[in-house]
């Protein structure tokens, strides 16, 4: 039994020695690193900056009343389209009692005066037809009669304006009818029937009856950082992504860059505006948030490589050309001239050909 135990221990010791030697031999073997092989491609490289903002109508008009009073009728609501001159609401005038009393008194005086002059006119007409008075005297009497009638009409119109804010003669242009000043879509109607409104004048902006805008002419309004503003200019093409319509991209053209910036949270931001080219099959609402991609530089059909295959040392750039792939990979360091980069791929101006292959990322390690 002891003999068997000794033999077993000897075998275990021998295996342990051989295992140790194998482990040390394995550790002493050189590591073989396998790299991905990448070929240059013809592609387009562009650098972009992104501005955030909103899409808004170019012209948004606040409709104000031309007289004070109480809203008696609202004919339109938000979302409806209106034409220039179309009535949006009507105002009921609340007359000032002093002015109303004066206007009524003027009408009564004009009626009395007309009644008196009318009797004189009838008498003079009979005398003229009987050839008792001259034509000059009759013409004077007739003129006085016409003046008295006109005075009564004017007094009645003045009373109607003070009492009702409208006259029969100018009912289509009455200031009690609030009309749209442009053709477009109503964005908001902040008043209701019964609300008091104030007329727009020199000392007061007046109560807003409605907001109307031309929704076919939209602009993107955003802001761009001072580090990027020096590289943008009017006329640049923009790709617009609207948050509510993520599946669609719209073309836009930059038409305004603010000459003065504003400090926001420690950064100087400049306002930009771009005209948006909208499709007929999509409706863009005012105030949608949007991101604008502005292409700062662009090169097309150039030789490109993934930027992670290029090694930079100071002002120089290098790649490792593949000289041998089997049985082991062999690379050669080679200087190149680079151009525009978008952070993922980089333009190769010279140094390699389209048929060359370069070293990429590590894909495997063998011990």
Q: How far apart are CA 82 and CA 214, in angstroms?
A: 10
Which structure tokens are listed for 205? 């902006």
State the CB neighbour count (10 A cutoff) for residue 39. Answer: 13
Average pLDDT, rounded, for the chain? 81
Q: For the chain, give the secondary structure using H, E and C.
A: CHHHHHHHHHHHHHHHHHHHHHHHHHHHCCCEEEEEEECCEEEEEEEEEEEEEEEEECCEEEECCCCCEEEEEECCCCCCEECCCCEEEEEECCCCHHHHHHHHHHHHHHHHHHHHHHHHHHHHHHHHHCCCCCHHHHHHHHHHHHHHHHHHHHHHHHHHHHHHCCCCCCHHHCCCEEECCCCEEEEECCCCCCCEECCCECCECCCCCEEEECCCCEEEEEEEEHHHHCCCCCCCEEEEEEHHHCCCEEEEEEEEECCCCEEECCEEEEEEEEEEECCCCCCCCCCEEEEEEEEEEEEEEEEEEEHHHCEEECCEEEEEEEEECCCCCEEEEEEEEEEEECCCEEEEEECCCCCCCEEEEEEEEEC
- Other Cβ atoms less than 10 A from the Cβ of 278: the count is 18
| Contact (CB, 8 A) for 84 and 181 | yes
The pLDDT, as a whole number, for residue 186 is 93
Positions in the chain short of pLDDT 70: 1-6, 8-9, 11, 14, 17-19, 21-32, 94-101, 103-104, 159-175, 364-367
- Within 8 A by CB and 6+ apart from 260, the residues are 270
pLDDT of residue 113: 80
Phi/psi class of residue 69: alpha, beta or left (left: φ > 0; alpha: ψ in -120 to 50)? left
Relative orientation angle of helices 135-164 and 97-129, to the nearest 10 degrees: 160
Cα 345 to Cα 336: distance, rounded to the nearest angstrom: 15
Domain architecture of the chain: domains with CATH: 32-45+300-366 (2.40.420.20), 49-57+215-298 (2.40.30.170), 60-93+171-213 (2.40.50.100), 97-164 (1.10.287.470)
Q: pLDDT for 79-90, tens place per residue?
A: 899 999 899 998
């Amino acid at each position: 039994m002891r003999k068997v135990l000794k033999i077993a221990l000897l075998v275990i010791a021998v295996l342990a020695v051989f295992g140790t030697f194998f482990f040390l031999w394995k550790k002493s073997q050189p590591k073989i690193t396998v790299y991905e092989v990448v070929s240059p491609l013809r592609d387009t490289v562009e650098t972009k900056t992104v501005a955030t903002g909103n899409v808004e109508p170019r012209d948004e008009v606040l409709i104000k009343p031309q007289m004070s009073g109480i809203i008696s009728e609202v004919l339109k609501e938000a979302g409806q389209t209106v034409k220039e001159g179309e009535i949006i609401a009507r105002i009921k005038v609340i007359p000032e009692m002093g002015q109303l009393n004066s206007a009524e008194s003027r009408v009564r005086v004009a009626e009395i005066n007309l009644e008196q002059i009318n009797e004189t006119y009838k008498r003079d007409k009979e005398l003229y037809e009987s050839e008792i008075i001259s034509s000059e005297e009759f013409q004077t009497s007739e003129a006085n009669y016409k003046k008295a009638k006109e005075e009564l009409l004017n007094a009645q119109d003045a009373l109607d304006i003070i009492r009702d804010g409208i006259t029969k003669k100018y009912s289509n242009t009455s200031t009690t009818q609030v009309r749209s000043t442009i053709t477009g879509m109503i964005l908001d109607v902040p008043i209701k029937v019964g609300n008091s409104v104030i007329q727009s004048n020199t000392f007061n902006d007046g109560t807003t009856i409605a907001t109307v805008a031309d929704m076919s002419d939209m602009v993107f309004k955003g802001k761009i950082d001072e580090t990027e503003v020096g590289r943008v200019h009017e006329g640049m093409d923009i790709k617009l992504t609207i948050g509510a319509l993520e599946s669609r991209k719209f073309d836009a053209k930059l038409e305004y860059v603010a000459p003065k910036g504003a400090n926001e949270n420690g950064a100087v931001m400049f306002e930009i505006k771009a005209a948006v080219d909208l499709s007929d099959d999509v409706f863009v609402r005012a105030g949608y948030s949007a991101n604008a991609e502005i292409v700062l530089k662009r090169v097309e059909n150039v030789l490109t490589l993934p930027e992670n295959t290029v090694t930079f040392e100071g002002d120089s750039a290098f790649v490792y050309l593949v000289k041998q792939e089997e049985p082991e990979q062999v690379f050669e360091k080679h200087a190149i001239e680079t151009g525009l980069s978008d952070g993922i791929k980089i333009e190769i101006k010279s140094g390699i050909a389209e048929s060359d292959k370069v070293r990429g990322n590590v894909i495997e390690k063998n011990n």
